[in-house]
Amino acid sequence: MALRILNGFTKSLPWPPYKKIGAVCLLAETSDGLLLVDSGIGLQDYHRPSRMMRDFMNVMQAIRDPEIAIVRQLARLGYKPADVRHIVLTHLHLDHAGGLPDFPNAMVHVFQREFQAWKHPRKLFEIPYDKSHFAHGPRWSFHQLEGEKWCGFDAVRLAGLEPEVWLVPLPGHTSGHCGVALQTETGWIFQCGDAVPVNLDLRPGMVLFYRPTIGANVPRLKAFAKAHPEVRMIAGHMDLDFFLEGGLSRNQRERT
């Protein structure tokens, strides 16, 4: 199966130049079943949202259509929730971890530091964790750095999975925020999550605008993009057009 790029949550930011923006979720087949990178928001968020989620959806002018939930999209592709054996999270924010309750049997891979950030928030951006997303008791798998590298980045490989999947710490947005690198049939894809502006738009003005929310990873990621044009980089949030066009190609052209 080729890698699929799905949108797990649609918001309509009230300021230009954006209209509707999606939340990138990746679906890949591994040696141990289906793997998701990030999970968008889930069915309970549409039907029984927590107060935090309700407020978030109001501010973000979310599209309130449960058919957007990844579990519904997978059903339309012919998959059952139990087919998803692994979920890898860039971070635990409510628009990335909301789908977890829809896949209660999946192993949930997260950087240990990110779990700590949820348990012991230290800054503003460590507040938007919604505990209702974890109330079912996910099967956590915590990861920390042990001296390995992926393409020059300190990183940790998810043991036992083929093709290779790596958590690549890109802290700043939250203390334990990670990118996720995934080996595909056609080369590496590097999901940079919320460490980069929407649409991976790395023009200086955009980077400055987003700087308070994304951390300080952009110069390094920009240098990486230049040195590794073969690695397909992607942001955690992309214009809806990106998904409609099947992803990647336009992003690849425009990222620098």
* Residue 178 Cβ vs Zn ion, minimum distance, rounded to whole Å: 12
* Residue 251 Cβ vs Zn ion, minimum distance, rounded to whole Å: 19
Determine the residue with CB nearest Zn ion.
Answer: 93
What are residue 30's phi and psi, to 5 degrees?
-125, 180
Give 130 or 239: the residue with its C-beta nearer to Zn ion.
130
* Residue 93 Cβ vs Zn ion, minimum distance, rounded to whole Å: 3
Q: In terms of residues, how long is the chain?
A: 256
CA separation for the pair 173, 125 (Å, rounded): 7
Give 93 or 143: the residue with its C-beta nearer to Zn ion.
93
DSSP at 238 = E
* Interacting residues with Zn ion (CB under 5 A): 93, 194
Check if the beta carbon of residue 225 is closer than 8 Å to that of residue 190.
no
* Residue 33 Cβ vs Zn ion, minimum distance, rounded to whole Å: 26
* Residue 174 Cβ vs Zn ion, minimum distance, rounded to whole Å: 7
List helix spans (H) across the chain. 43-47, 51-59, 70-76, 94-97, 112-119, 204-214, 218-227, 240-244, 249-254
Give 93 or 133: the residue with its C-beta nearer to Zn ion.
93
Give 98 or 183: the residue with its C-beta nearer to Zn ion.
98
Give 30 or 113: the residue with its C-beta nearer to Zn ion.
113
Residue partners of 213: CB distance under 8 A and separation at least 6? 125, 173, 194
